[in-house]
Structure 1
């Protein structure tokens, strides 16, 4: 996520996913930290939420959970989703957005 308040929104989304039984019980959710580039100061920073799942059902559940979470936000930052090198950035929660997420996560 990027934009104002992105860190808090990312934490909120993680909590939402953990409260979704189909995701909590069938996917691994973890934080990924990124070390600073050479010459930059600071320790590793929280940058990515990683979700590992093993089938299409969880991909659809993830997409619907994102849409449900997004609908609870007055304004939410852009969300970038990466899977196997394919990157999709989404901002909304409408059916087209859900379809774009599913397509990005299922294309080989």
Structure 2
């Protein structure tokens, strides 16, 4: 199984200062669990990331997807685009796979296509 880590961040009052949004993270995890195409080929877990220097840690701050060979990255991108369109406050997600990180900060389908293209190139 391959692992993907997803962080959901929100911009605090439009200042560019992003912070983890546990409510949005849980919302997106629930959204993914409700998506038959994703649920059928991925295990979806909420996880704690290791705290950074000077932080105590706390609530959940990432979604970990353990995916099998039948997983379609396009389904993840589509789930993000549709989920983000339902949000009253825009959220940014960062998807990590291996040493590759890509951030989605809009519901633009072209950005979602870039996610798929980038992650397909990861060995």
Q: TM-score of the superposition, structure 2-length normalised?
A: 0.74
- Structure that is richer in helix per residue: 1
What are the residue-to-residue correspondences of 1:75-86 with 2, within 5 Å?
75-86=89-100
In structure 2, relative to structure 1, the CA distance for the partners of 1:42 and 1:54 (3 Å cut) is: same
4+ runs deviating over 4 angstroms: none
Alignment of 1:21-36 (within 5 A): 21-36=36-51
> TM-score, normalization: structure 1?
0.82
Kept in 2: contact 1:34–1:44 (CA 8 A): no
Tell me, yes or no, if structure 1 residue 69 matches structure 2 residue 76: no
**Contact map agreement 2:42 2:71 (CA 8 A) in 1:** no
Aligned residues: 107
Q: Note the residue ranges of structure 2 that are not aligned, 5 or more in a row.
A: 1-7, 13-19
> CA 1:63–1:56 in structure 2 vs 1: closer, same or farther (change >3 Å)?
farther
